[in-house]
Amino acid sequence: MSLIEIREAIESDQSHLIGWLQQPGVLQWFPLYDLREIEDAARIWMSYSKQHAVLTALWDQKPCGVANLYLQPYKKLAHQCLFAIIVDEQYRGKGVGTRLLSDLIQLAKEKFSLEFIHLEVYEGNPAIHLYRKLGFVEYGRQDRFVKEPDGHYRAKVLMQKIL
């Protein structure tokens, strides 16, 4: 029996998300700078749980990752959406991200009838391997997208998966 379970997110998962975003090295992969920005992003991310578009991964009943669909409110855009995912550093490399993203893809197809989902990931992010493994392909990039506090830049890589 798998140790990984997936359920719809609940309000208390937001505190876990805030904690994971504060883990060492994580913010280099997100456009967030400080606790105020982290809390704001987590609030927006988790607001999609009202539409049943946020999933939480559990390892032995303990939250260890979250993924969401940023569903589009406009009819002309409702066939696609951006998504985000994060896994607690303690559970990376154990199949949590694969399971969480696989279930999110299924949710996107079956519940929301999305035609494709896409993401923005920064060049060098180790999660790019996961996205490619699950069939995401790069369709563009923007150099010098993020300027880190130390002055160096990161490119944004745009990836999508046709569902």
DSSP state letter for 121: E
End-to-end CA distance of the chain: 28
Q: Is pLDDT at 145 greater than 70 in this prediction?
A: yes
Q: What is the pLDDT of residue 12?
A: 95
Place of tokens 């300027």: 147
Q: What is the pLDDT of residue 47?
A: 97
Confidence at 8, pLDDT banded by 50, 70, 90: very high
Topology of 4-162 in CATH?
A: Aminopeptidase (3.40.630)
Cβ distance 70 to 82 under 8 Å?
yes
Mean pLDDT of the chain: 96
Q: Is pLDDT at 2 greater than 70 in this prediction?
A: no
- Summarize pLDDT for 76-125 with one digit per residue, the tens: 999 999 999 999 999 999 999 999 999 999 999 999 999 999 999 999 99
The CA-atom distances, in angstroms, between 27 and each of 19, 49, 60, 115, 149 are: 11, 23, 27, 30, 11
Q: For a pLDDT cut of 70, what percent of the chain falls above it?
A: 99
Helix ranges, 59-149 (H): 96-110, 128-133
Distance (Å, whole) CA 86 – CA 101: 10
Q: What is the pLDDT of residue 64?
A: 98
Q: Is pLDDT at 1 greater than 90 in this prediction?
A: no
